[in-house]
Structure 1
């Protein structure tokens, strides 16, 4: 057994706390970090760093006092308690995996699930080489490739921090190509396939269950779209499913280590995308309902589950967001940016139907009306079947999460992006799987082979029809690489590329970075005779710069480039 030294622990915590507190109070942060990682942004972020050093210094001093009184009471050192809790948490995670495997017989089904994962991975990798989109190009240029501090910067909802950290790791290992940037999202999307299978099997408790849900997760174009772009939504989906699985375990065996593990998933989800609040709240309410179904009293649910999970989740989120708050100079960009500010009730209610219509259209991406109707019929049959089986966990899963999300939406009174609700179909898949099992009961083992063949066919059709590449979600300027290929042969040192909106800026700048093209950032730095290349979506040229009828020097199906010699060409003239 490892020996712990209380006096060293107490003095160490106290010294660290005093150093941090004094460091913050004397305002050394900007100068200190400026020497370690030089960047002009440290001057602006210095006061926030000072505040956090003071806060964490106070926390360490409080821990030192706690360790001192614990030593006086002979109740063990803080290090010993942390070690014990770490072992307990690890043991709980292992127990959760063993419990999941014993309930789902996953190891017996690994070949089938592996086949569905292979199909899902194949179609996602196929679309991983589509043109870069605005949001993911902006994420790479602004956050991943712009210094350590920017990894945590949150000037707008574009930075999904946990995902950004994974992207940084991926590009460090595999380079800066589109596939490397998209690899974390692809991996999370593929892992959603077995995760959905496990959740479905745990709820339906049938050896035929889970395969239909896994198949749809693998081949639905909506999931493929967000798995093949570098955004944090597939990580959000994966953590949502893991949270529901942990909730099932908690409902069966409530204890504090399980609550801590459950809260850790919530904290990581919030660190990925703050809108993880939506699925987390719904799943927590559903978990509480499952506990009551299992006979746990309401007061025990509140005291033994809701309260500790809320406390642990809040503490975890605050800890993880410490560097984000420093890099973003406060919490205003996180909790009160223009995308999340409450809107007047009239405006909000007026936009709500349009928002729901856009969300439905996105979720139905690439699905013929007949298939869509069939899926709704299977969903209705599944809910009916669950009701007849008195499987309340499965019956109430999607409705509770949906209603809770809607209540939070009303409370926030802001219209989110339609992709915010990407997690909702995943939980509807559980009821769909129940409906499919009801219809395919006679097929048994043959049903898996048929389902696998249909999944392969669906992936092939999606690849051929390609509803993914042409979808404009998260910013679409598909001809950016063609534009840069043109610029590579015409642009010289001292020239300037000026994007003109319509998602042309980050996407074109990304491919210019990949091509190593120089670019003057400020027009004031241009010299006479230099060329300005205006890059724009076709038909949306800057008339104030080029006149009413300019002639493009280069054009594609979707883009135009106007080359103007600085200081010589009159508005509307073009140079090649």
Structure 2
């Protein structure tokens, strides 16, 4: 048994080393808009200035870690992203412990290996934002929640409270996960009380954990509480006027999450989603006996997050559900194992079940590795490449305009002396002046809606803005398109002669 335990830890170490290699590769790629804005508007401020006002774009605990990393290693992209990468690796280790607790070492190995190769896990581990931190604290929160509900101890629930506070201080949406667990805890308390089986520890110790976490989070946010309340109360206003109304649709969110993972569009997205959901439900059945609250917590968090965001009129980004990827992967792998057992029951017994599961596990690893390579095809958003190219292309006296929110990056981070265009009127005014003009368009999908005349002048007629169907003669000529793995992450350079 001791030798088996040592082998398990060696497997974990090997998986984490592989994951680290995959995340270090490309860690220094150019930063995208949200990373740059995090740096310019928050991380580059003094330590005291960082906690003076609230913004949805500020992931406070992560940003403190990023600033500490910059103070040690400088301001290269890899140094700014280092905390996110370490949080991501920590998430894999925490997920392995959680999976071993409730499903055994084999399921833990397969689940963690698939997460190490996961396109989304690699992408976010190379993203200088707080989502891998949220995933780590939520995964540890799930571990301590399940252990604490099974065997309540002060230490377990105190650690749970610290995870709660860390997640919420990283981003307010971190509270949704722990709210879901709080509702489940209350349901268990009520059910046991009605049966006359409620013991003091089941009530007092979890209550202590939630109280510790809530108080610490409140104290951390106390200096910026007025700003926080003001921001939250007005969050629906910008969403209501957003031209990208699909961002508030949970169906779009689900499709976008799957599309980015498999790199495909169309009916295959729905088929993959349905298959993953069906197998995950089988996994919930497989794990119910040993961890009856695990699947319930996962699905409740997803539903609760979508419901709250819809209720407050906020955009439902797929990244708000990033913390659930590990849990869904565990359910999926457990479902695959159960499917193999059911098939083997009719055609061959336990030996067939093990062989079939091994075969499917290898296939899943191969598919994940194939999909993961898309992380390295392009940067997330190649603003740096577009800036350098445009500066080399620009002729003396030639006007350059950045279109949309990326102008904040070109002018505020790269120091470009370019003009800015956000609206149709600004675009028409800029092109009314004679002479050659260069337009640099970040987030083209959004900006072609915000500036419809630009879309007409560019002859946009296809879904791929980097290779659209265009008439032979257009006002704007595409000089170069810089690809990006971010959704709507291409950057296009147009020119009017």
**TM-score under structure 2 length normalisation:** 0.71
Unaligned segments of structure 2, at least 5 residues: 342-350, 440-478, 482-490
Where does residue 230 of structure 1 map in the other structure? 128
Q: Post-superposition shift, 1:265?
A: 1.1
Q: Secondary structure at the match of 2:25?
A: helix
**What are the equivalent positions in structure 2 for 1:168-179 lying under 5 Å apart?**
168-179=67-78
Q: Secondary structure at the match of 2:48?
A: helix
Where does residue 217 of structure 1 map in the other structure? 115
Q: Post-superposition shift, 1:161?
A: 0.5
Match of 1:505 among 408, 417, 434: 408
Q: Post-superposition shift, 1:273?
A: 0.4
Is 1:272 the counterpart of 2:170 in the alignment?
Answer: yes
Is 1:556 the counterpart of 2:480 in the alignment?
Answer: yes
Match of 2:428 among 525, 529, 543: 543
Is 1:436 the counterpart of 2:346 in the alignment?
Answer: no
- Counterparts of 2:250 and 2:306, CA distance in 1: 12
- Counterparts of 2:14 and 2:421, CA distance in 1: 43
**What are the equivalent positions in structure 2 for 1:323-334 lying under 5 Å apart?**
323-325=223-225, 330-334=227-231
Q: Deviations over 1:204-233 (max 9, x none)?
A: 2x3422123213322222232222211111
- Counterparts of 1:546 and 1:343, CA distance in 2: 30
Change (3 A) 1:393 1:276: same
Point out the structure with max Rg over C-alpha: 1
- Counterparts of 1:202 and 1:293, CA distance in 2: 24
Match of 1:481 among 382, 385, 393: 385
Match of 1:459 among 369, 378, 381: 369
**What are the equivalent positions in structure 2 for 1:39-118 lying under 5 Å apart?**
107-118=6-17
Change (3 A) 1:409 1:489: closer
Unaligned segments of structure 1, at least 5 residues: 1-100, 520-531, 563-571
**What are the equivalent positions in structure 2 for 1:557-572 lying under 5 Å apart?**
557=481, 558-560=491-493
- Counterparts of 2:196 and 2:337, CA distance in 1: 31
Q: Deviations over 1:193-213 (max 9, x none)?
A: 222121122122x34221232
Q: Deviations over 1:386-431 (max 9, x none)?
A: 45x5752344342333344355446545444332122233322232
Q: Secondary structure at the match of 1:423?
A: helix
Q: Post-superposition shift, 1:334?
A: 4.9
Q: Is the 8 A contact 2:336 2:357 kept in 1?
A: no
Q: Is the 8 A contact 2:12 2:93 kept in 1?
A: yes
**What are the equivalent positions in structure 2 for 1:144-183 lying under 5 Å apart?**
144-183=43-82
Q: Deviations over 1:78-136 (max 9, x none)?
A: xxxxxxxxxxxxxxxxxxxxxxx99xx86431222233323333333334344321111
**TM-score under structure 1 length normalisation:** 0.62
Where does residue 566 of structure 1 map in the other structure? none
Q: Is the 8 A contact 2:88 2:125 kept in 1?
A: yes
Superposition CA RMSD, Å: 4.3
- Counterparts of 1:452 and 1:433, CA distance in 2: 12
Q: Is the 8 A contact 2:43 2:66 kept in 1?
A: yes
Q: Is the 8 A contact 2:258 2:273 kept in 1?
A: no
Q: Secondary structure at the match of 2:260?
A: coil
- Counterparts of 1:395 and 1:461, CA distance in 2: 26
